[in-house]
């Protein structure tokens, strides 16, 4: 077997091993590669900074534990940004989830961030967690028309919503000024847009995994989506912009190295393919 | 360090590595982790559903007799899902299915024309050809205005019609556009897959805020697992 043929038939285990090496090495020995700030992360930061005072914001956790590596850092950074501004801008934040593992992910975030002591926000007054909204798109529609019926109790303390001051004037989608969604798939943005944006005009900003970005782009171009945070790289940029480096920043070197590996493999594969083709090797 | 702190970390490390062991090849570690994962996620979903049903009953539907009857009716309709496991009563499962499909489609159709059709057309029509001072964006907009109708026409015509007259050139542009789209999708997919690997690697290496104890568990379990995989490979009877 010639070298050209060998290059086209590399045992997949070696490729996986290379992938591990290219990811683990920069995590163990950070390279400090430059991080250019993209327009998406800038737009996200500016949008959150310009949310008007007294806004009521829904943060929806539309992903499970499998989406955590890519979405959790941006969720932490965004919640940090929102909770930091809560005192000065009197935000009311309602956390929901249309994926049943969403509350589990948010529990992890609460353990890590401890909002009461870190930001001085009061549960039930400044923010509340309503938990999982079942029923996918139908559940979203029901939540829009009557939040109290869809979630009679909160998630953390399991008490009726009537006991929380934050919920006093919040009944339907008309009382919501912004939805911030972190999502990995369906149900996700198209469903939210159909049930909230089109009928009620609720603005949306979305943080999503890389796979979903091409599908989100048309909504961003049409203005139905006000800002988009695409994947781990943008999360890292956003962490730098708000001055709170976290997991995404520490993973950026690994992102660059892993992409370098993919580009190298694509180039090597193509060279081998075309070279063997020109030599008439099958 | 207490056992209650270490146990969840070592368990998480074990299951992460057991799932990744599939990269080496099919093996009992992976099978075990796969089955446990399936069981745990189904159990979690069932528990959450039951919790939701209870909350709805206590705080809403049990308030009056009429609402209680409606709740029980909905519950009975929900139980009909299980009729699909019985050949004799299989048809009952279709009633529930019809309600779910009908409601879902009805809900979506209410606004889908505006959200995913009209708004996109309006947005496309509003794109300016030239933006002063931004040549790159102007170029991008011109491409968008050419490429989008080409792709739509490509799917509008089928078979030989694509290869005759002006459609010949339009089809070519459309194919390049579609390939560019696939390329972008592939690139982002690779980004996501590597992001998942990076996230788990950060956990395995105990990079904060992940538990630092994971690093020792990673080294120990990885070595044991690798040795057992190689041993399993060597001892496995070879297919002749």
Tell me the average confidence (pLDDT) per consecutive run of 10 residues in chain A, 282 residues long.
Answer: 78 90 92 89 96 97 93 96 95 96 95 95 96 92 93 92 94 97 94 95 95 91 94 93 91 92 90 82 54
Please report how many Cα atoms fall inside a 13 Å half-sphere around the Cα of residue B22, on the Cβ side: 9
The CA distance from A182 to A185, in Å, is 10
Q: Hey, of B96, B123, B194, which one would you mutate to test binding to chain A, going by the most A CBs within 10 A of its CB?
A: B194
For A70, the closest of B55, B122, B195 (CB atoms) is B195
pTM for the structure as a whole? 0.90
* B79-96 mean pLDDT: 93
A93 phi, psi to nearest 5 deg: -115, 125
Three-class DSSP category at A10: coil
Distance CA A230, CA A232 (A): 7
Report the C-alpha gap between B181 and B110 in whole angstroms. Answer: 29
Residues 6+ apart with CB under 8 A from B59: A152, A153, A160
Least Cα distance to B10 among B224, B226, B216, B200 occurs for: B216
Nearest CA in chain A to B48: A100
Q: What pLDDT does residue A281 have?
A: 56
Out of B55, B107, B209, whose CB is closest to A152? B55
User: Residue B240: its pLDDT value, please?
Assistant: 52
Encoding tokens for residue B67? 């609402």
Three-state DSSP class for B109? helix
> Which residues of chain B have a CB within 8 Å of the CB of A195?
107, 111
Q: Is A127 helix (H, G, I), strand (E, B) or coil?
A: strand
Of A137, A138, A161, the residue nearest A149 (C-alpha): A161
- Selecting from B48, B196, B207 the residue whose C-beta is nearest the C-beta of A100 gives B48
Question: Which CA distances in Å does B229 have to A18, A24, B21, B147, B223?
Answer: 19, 21, 8, 51, 10
Report the gap between the CA of B35 and the closest CA in chain A (Å): 16
Placement of tokens 């929900």 in the chain: B78
What does the alpha-carbon distance between residue B225 and residue B190 come to, in Å, rounded to a whole number? 27
Cβ-contact A200, A171 below 8 angstroms: no
Listed in order, strand segments (DSSP E) in chain A are 56-62, 92-97, 127-132, 178-183, 204-208, 227-230
SS3 content of chain B, % helix, strand, coil (to 5): 85, 0, 15
Q: What is the pLDDT of residue A282?
A: 52
Between CA B10 and CA B16 the distance in angstroms is 10
pLDDT tens by residue, B57-78:
887 888 788 889 999 999 999 9
pLDDT digits (tens, 9 = 90+) for B118-165: 999 998 888 888 888 889 989 999 999 999 999 999 988 877 777 788
Q: Using an 8 Å CB-CB cutoff, list chain B residues near A269.
A: none
The helix/strand/coil state of A125 is: coil
Strand positions, DSSP E, B115-155: none
| Closest residue in B to A198 (Cα–Cα) | B115
Q: What are phi and psi of A9, to 5 degrees?
A: -130, 40
Of B181, B195, B205, the CB nearest to A28: B205
Distance CA A118, CA B93 (A): 51
Cα separation, A271 vs A81, in Å, equals 47
Say which residue the tokens 């009909």 belong to.
B80
How near does any CA of chain A get to the CA of B201, in Å? 7
Query: In this predicted model, what pLDDT tens digit does every residue of B175-217 receive, in sequence order?
Result: 999 999 999 888 888 888 999 999 999 999 999 888 899 999 9
User: Which residues of chain B neighbour A167 with C-beta distances below 8 Å?
Assistant: none
User: Using the beta-carbon criterion (under 8 Å), do B199 and A194 form an inter-chain contact?
Assistant: no
Q: What are phi and psi of A2, to 5 degrees?
A: -75, 165
**pLDDT higher than 80, residue B238:** no
**Phi, psi dihedrals of residue B124, rounded to the nearest 5°:** -65, -40
3-state secondary structure of A132: strand
Q: Which value does ipTM take for this structure?
A: 0.88
List chain A residues with CB under 8 Å of B44: 100-101, 104
pLDDT at B239 over 60: yes
């Amino acid at each position: 077997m010639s070298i050209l043929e060998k290059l086209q038939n590399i045992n997949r285990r070696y490729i996986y091993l290379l992938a591990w090496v290219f990811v683990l090495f920069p995590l163990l020995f950070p390279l400090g590669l430059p991080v250019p700030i993209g327009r998406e992360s800038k737009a996200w930061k500016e949008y959150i900074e310009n949310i008007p005072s007294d806004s009521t914001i829904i943060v929806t956790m539309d992903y499970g534990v499998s989406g955590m590596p890519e979405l959790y850092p941006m969720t932490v950074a965004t919640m940090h940004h929102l909770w930091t501004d809560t005192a000065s801008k009197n935000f009311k934040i309602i956390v929901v989830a249309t994926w049943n593992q969403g509350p589990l992910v948010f529990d992890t975030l609460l353990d890590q961030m401890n909002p009461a002591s870190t930001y001085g926000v009061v549960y039930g007054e400044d923010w509340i967690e309503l938990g999982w909204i079942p029923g996918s798109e139908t559940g979203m529609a029901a939540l829009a028309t009557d939040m109290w019926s869809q979630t009679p109790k909160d998630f953390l303390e399991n008490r009726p919503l009537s006991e929380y001051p934050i919920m006093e004037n919040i009944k339907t989608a008309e009382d919501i000024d912004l939805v911030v969604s972190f999502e990995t798939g369906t149900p996700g943005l198209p469903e939210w847009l159909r049930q909230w944006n089109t009928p009620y005009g609720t603005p949306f900003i979305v943080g999503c995994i890389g796979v979903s970005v091409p599908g989100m782009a048309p909504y961003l171009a049409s203005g139905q989506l006000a800002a988009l945070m695409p994947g781990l790289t943008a999360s890292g940029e956003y962490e730098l912009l708000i001055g709170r480096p976290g997991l995404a920043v520490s993973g950026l070197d690994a992102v660059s190295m892993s992409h370098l590996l993919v580009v190298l493999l694509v180039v090597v594969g193509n060279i081998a393919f075309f070279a063997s083709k020109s030599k008439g090797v099958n | 360090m207490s056992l209650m702190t270490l146990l969840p970390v070592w368990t998480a490390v074990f299951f992460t590595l057991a799932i990744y062991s599939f990269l080496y090849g099919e093996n009992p570690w992976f099978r075990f982790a796969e089955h446990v994962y399936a069981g745990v996620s189904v159990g979690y979903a069932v528990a959450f559903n039951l919790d939701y049903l209870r909350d709805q009953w206590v705080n809403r539907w049990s308030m009056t007799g009429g609402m209680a009857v409606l709740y029980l009716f909905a519950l009975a309709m929900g139980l009909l899902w299980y009729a699909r496991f019985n050949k004799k009563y299989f048809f009952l499962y279709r009633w529930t299915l019809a309600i779910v499909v009908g409601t879902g489609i009805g809900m979506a159709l209410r606004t889908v024309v505006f959200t995913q059709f009209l708004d996109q057309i309006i947005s496309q029509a509003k794109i300016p050809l030239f933006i002063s001072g931004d040549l790159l964006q102007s170029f991008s907009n011109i491409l968008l205005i050419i490429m989008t109708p080409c792709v739509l026409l490509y799917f509008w015509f089928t078979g030989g019609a694509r290869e005759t007259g002006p459609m010949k050139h339009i089809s070519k542009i459309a194919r390049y556009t579609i390939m560019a789209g696939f390329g972008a999708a592939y690139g982002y997919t690779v980004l996501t897959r590597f992001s998942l690997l990076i996230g788990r690697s950060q956990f395995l290496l105990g990079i904060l805020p992940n538990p630092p104890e994971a690093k020792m568990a990673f080294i120990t379990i990885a070595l044991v697992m690798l040795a057992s995989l190689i041993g399993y490979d060597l001892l496995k009877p070879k297919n002749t």
